Amino acid sequence: MTRKPSRWRRFRQAAGGLLAATVALTAMAASAQTPRSVCTVAAFEPPARINASSLRSLVWAPFRRDEIGWEIYARQIQRELRTTCAPDTSRFAQLLAGFQKRFRMKATGQMDADTFLRFKGVWQERRPFVMVNLNGYCPPAPDPATLAIAAPTESYGGKTIPLRPGTLNAYRAMVAAAKREVPAIAKDTRSLTIFSGFRDPDADAARCLADANCDGVVRATCSPHRTGLALDLYVGQAPGYGPDSSADPNRLYMTRTPTYGWLAANAHRFGFVNYPFEPWHWEWIGQAP
Ligand SMILES: [Zn+2]
Mean pLDDT by 10 residues, the chain (289 residues): 46 46 39 83 98 98 96 98 97 98 98 98 95 90 96 94 98 98 96 96 76 56 93 98 96 97 97 97 96
Spacing, Cα 163 to ligand 1 middle (Å): 13
Q: How far is the CA of 64 from the centre of ligand 1 (A)?
A: 18
CA–CA gap between residue 226 and residue 38 (Å, rounded): 45
* Distance between Cα 234 and ligand 1 center (Å): 11
Report the largest interatomic distance among the alpha carbons of the chain, rounded to a whole angstrom: 59
For 237-256, what is each residue's pLDDT tens digit?
Answer: 999 999 999 999 999 999 99
Summary mean pLDDT of the chain: 88
For ligand 1, the distance from its centroid to the CA atom of residue 36, given in whole angstroms, is 35
Distance 94 CA to ligand 1 centre (A): 34
Of 96, 125, 154, at which residue does a domain stop? 125
CATH number, residue 195: 3.30.1380.10
243 and 150 share a domain?
yes
Dist. CA 97–CA 104, nearest whole Å: 10
CA 43 to ligand 1 centroid distance, Å: 41
Q: Is residue 23 part of a domain?
A: no
Residues 6 or more apart whose Cβ sits within 8 Å of residue 80: 99, 119, 122, 123
C-alpha 285 – ligand 1 centre gap (Å): 14
Predicted TM-score (pTM) of this structure? 0.86
Who surrounds ion ligand 1 at CB < 5 A? Answer: 232, 281
For the CA atoms of 106, 111, 115, 118, the dihedral, rounded to the nearest 10 degrees, stands at 140
- Tell me how many domains the chain contains: 2
Nearest by Cα to 33 from 71, 83, 90: 83
Domain stops at, among 125, 154, 171: 125
Please give the distance, rounded to the nearest whole angstrom, from the Cα atom of residue 44 to the centre of ligand 1. 38
- Say if residue 181 is in the same domain as residue 61: no
Residues 117 and 162 in one domain: no
Strand pairing class (162-163; 148-149): antiparallel
How far, in Å, from the CA of 98 to the mean position of ligand 1? 32
In a domain, 264, yes or no: yes
pLDDT for 24-82, tens place per residue?
333 344 456 788 889 999 999 999 999 999 999 999 999 999 999 999 999 999 999 99
| CA of 230 relative to ligand 1 center, distance in Å | 6
* Domain-embedded: residue 133: no
CA of 280 to the centre of ligand 1 (A): 7
CA distances from 143 to 200, 218, 224, 283 (A): 10, 21, 15, 19
